[in-house]
Amino acid sequence: MRPTIRPQLYIGCAGWAIPKASSERFPEDGSHLQRYAQVFNGVEINSSFYRSHQPATYARWASSVPGDFRFAVKMPRTISHQARLFECSTTLHAFLSEVHQLGSKLGCLLLQLPPGLAYTASVALPFFEMLRRLHLGPVACEPRHVSWFAHAVDRQLIDHDISRVAADPAPLPRAAVPAGDPALQYLRLHGSPRIYYDSYPEATLHRISLKLRRPASHTAQRWCIFDNTALGHATSNALDMLDYLGDDEPPA
């Protein structure tokens, strides 16, 4: 039996905006990213989904944060939503050449799939194989079509060292729990019941904090990213999560 370990936790938001209501919890000096990175140790870059960034931009971001800070970078919609994982070699090469400028600060890639994209092995597997030839680091996939939640698909994700995101709200019950490669567990909290808008109650945050702290035998890192950014609740919820993680006693 493998010994249980306490996975490395990365807590943060989708983006490093600092709402005025939470500004007193952050240092006054520096860029928004520098101030954010003095409080949180992880962030999800969503802007990469909509547009590319210059390699120098990623390098500048990497140099702006502490050594233990990590970025999760969302893969572009040109790959996931337009090409739908098919014949996108050029786009994937370009994206990876940009994000690899983060160096050791690149924590993982996030691939969010459109709700209407069903699992098709003849498309998904060649894409995963191509991705794995070009990028060896952690990858989290957030599928939203029911066909992706079959046990056979979980096996394919494990075979390609790809984790399946645990999402809230979940499009179906199995989407609420992580699957695929257990080395990475990635939780995306979009806001509930109104996605992107609503804050999470204290009881929910406390319950999640206990799960985040739980020892595991195969999980090296857990991410908890708040995506309920529309009204600024992501930042306040993430700050509360840090407080809960600091206050909770380790599980027996």
Angle (CA) 198-203-204 rounded to 5° is 55
On whether the CB atoms of residues 9 and 224 are closer than 8 A, the answer is: yes
Res 1: pLDDT: 58
Res 90: pLDDT: 98
CA distances from 131 to 60, 72, 75, 178 (A): 25, 16, 11, 21
pLDDT for residue 2 is more than 90: no
On whether the CB atoms of residues 7 and 220 are closer than 8 A, the answer is: yes
**CA–CA dist 67, 61 (Å, integer):** 12
CA distances from 236 to 33, 139, 202 (A): 16, 27, 11
What's the N-to-C CA distance of the chain in angstroms? Answer: 18
Residue 117 — pLDDT band, cuts 50, 70, 90? Answer: very high
pLDDT for residue 251 is more than 80: no
pLDDT for residue 248 is more than 80: no
List of residues 6+ apart from 119 with CB closer than 8 A: 143, 145, 147, 148, 150, 153
Helix (H, G, I), strand (E, B) or coil at 21: helix
Structure tokens at 218: 């195969």
Res 155: pLDDT: 97
On whether the CB atoms of residues 120 and 84 are closer than 8 A, the answer is: no
Res 250: pLDDT: 39
Q: Residues 216-246: pLDDT tens digits?
A: 989 999 999 999 999 999 999 999 999 999 9
What letter would DSSP give residue 5?
B
**What is the residue whose two structure tokens read 């597997």?**
125
pLDDT for residue 25 is more than 70: yes
The predicted model scores a pTM of 0.95
Average pLDDT, the chain: 95
CATH class of domain segment(s) 9-196+222-238: alpha beta
Residue 5 — pLDDT band, cuts 50, 70, 90? Answer: confident
Res 4: pLDDT: 79
- Other residues' Cβ atoms within 10 Å of the Cβ of residue 201: 11
